[in-house]
Structure 1
Amino acid sequence: MSRIISLNARLAHDAVASSEVEVVLIQFTHPETEQIVRLSTDPTERISYAPLAYGTRSNWLGADPNDDEQAFRFVLISVQLPDDEEAAPPAAQFVLDAVDASMAEVLLSTTQRAEVSIAVVLASSPNVVEQEWHGFKLINVEGDGGQITLSITRDPVTAEPWPAGRMTRERFPGLHP
């Protein structure tokens, strides 16, 4: 299955050098709270002056680009995008730099797993999604010094039942005359 990407993204990928910046947007939601955490890997624009905050405005997943509270906030974060290994479910990791102890406490204080969605956009066109992944769960949080490593994964496709149902006369009478 081929993936459709924008012309700007294709030109940036094919160019020897490009001014286009790929931005990873990450959204965390949790069943125990209504708060949505939106993070960005690029300080695309200034979101607020007091406190000083940078981020990316995008309408991805219903965020309002005109609302400062719904902007994807820039944080120093390294991202390993979901892999495509055959023998394992997709997995990814984020490493947040220069975090304080209160952030680690929040990440470790819940009993249910947070839902995670990831998208790749260009800084010049943050509303055009080049790639996206949904349905991930935060499964591990490790921290030391000024870094926190977040690991996410989702259920493997092989865990889904197959065959899902047999097309028998009792279950699907319309198929059998």
Structure 2
Amino acid sequence: MRRISLNARRGFDAANTAEVDIALFQFEHPALEAPIRLSTDPTERLSVEPLLYGTRSTWLDPSPSAEPFLFALVSAELPGDQEDAPASGALVLENVDNRIAEVLRSFTDRATVHMAVVRSTDPDLVEYQYLGLKLMQAGGDAGEVTLTLSRAPIEDELAPMDRFTKDRFPGLFR
């Protein structure tokens, strides 16, 4: 059972509420100079020139004033918990800049994605989080880019290097 705060439960059960769920994302890759931090809510104005909105949260960073989560036109699908399939979610980014496609095509290995859901009234309190997801697929068209997130595939794990012989595993041959 997933634990969530009492305020989140009240917000889910209320007919109307001013609280909004915010999804925070942090993308990490060795080719990036710094992690990319995105938010699904324009919680506060961060700067006037250029006009930037974002969310300040201490999730994964003790100083939110230095690196806030920048607002992006993103819709998110939380990772599911189906028995027969790995937990996978999706992000749909509005393709407002051609540089998004350039960045997504610039690397060949998988980026690591961390995801958290917080409430707008308390962005430091994480309701639930998914750490260490991998960016499995990026595709889209001129209007939107869809990113598929999942756990690291078990097919990428190295096979055991030892052979099950009598010398190496004598307990198997009694």
Same fold (TM over 0.5): yes
The two structures have a TM-score, normalised by structure 2, of: 0.84
CA distance in 2, matches of 1:148, 1:156: 22
Contact (CA 8 Å) 1:58, 1:127: kept in 2 or not? Answer: yes
CA distance in 2, matches of 1:66, 1:33: 21
The equivalent residue for 2:95 is 98
The RMSD of aligned alpha carbons is 2.1
The equivalent residue for 1:135 is 132
Contact (CA 8 Å) 1:31, 1:112: kept in 2 or not? Answer: no
Per-residue deviation, 1:14: 1.3
| Structure 1 residue ranges without an equivalent (≥5) | 161-177
Q: From the superposition, tell whether residues 99 and 44 of structure 1 become closer, same or farther in structure 2 (CA, over 3 Å).
A: same
Verify: 1:88 aligned to 2:88, yes or no: no
Note the 1:4-43 alignment, pairs <5 A.
4-43=3-42
The equivalent residue for 1:3 is 2
The equivalent residue for 2:147 is 150
Verify: 1:78 aligned to 2:75, yes or no: yes
Verify: 1:115 aligned to 2:123, yes or no: no
Identity of aligned residues (%): 49
Per-residue deviation, 1:152: 1.1
| Structure 2 residue ranges without an equivalent (≥5) | 158-174
The two structures have a TM-score, normalised by structure 1, of: 0.83
For these two proteins, the number of residue pairs brought into alignment is 159
CA distance in 2, matches of 1:134, 1:19: 28
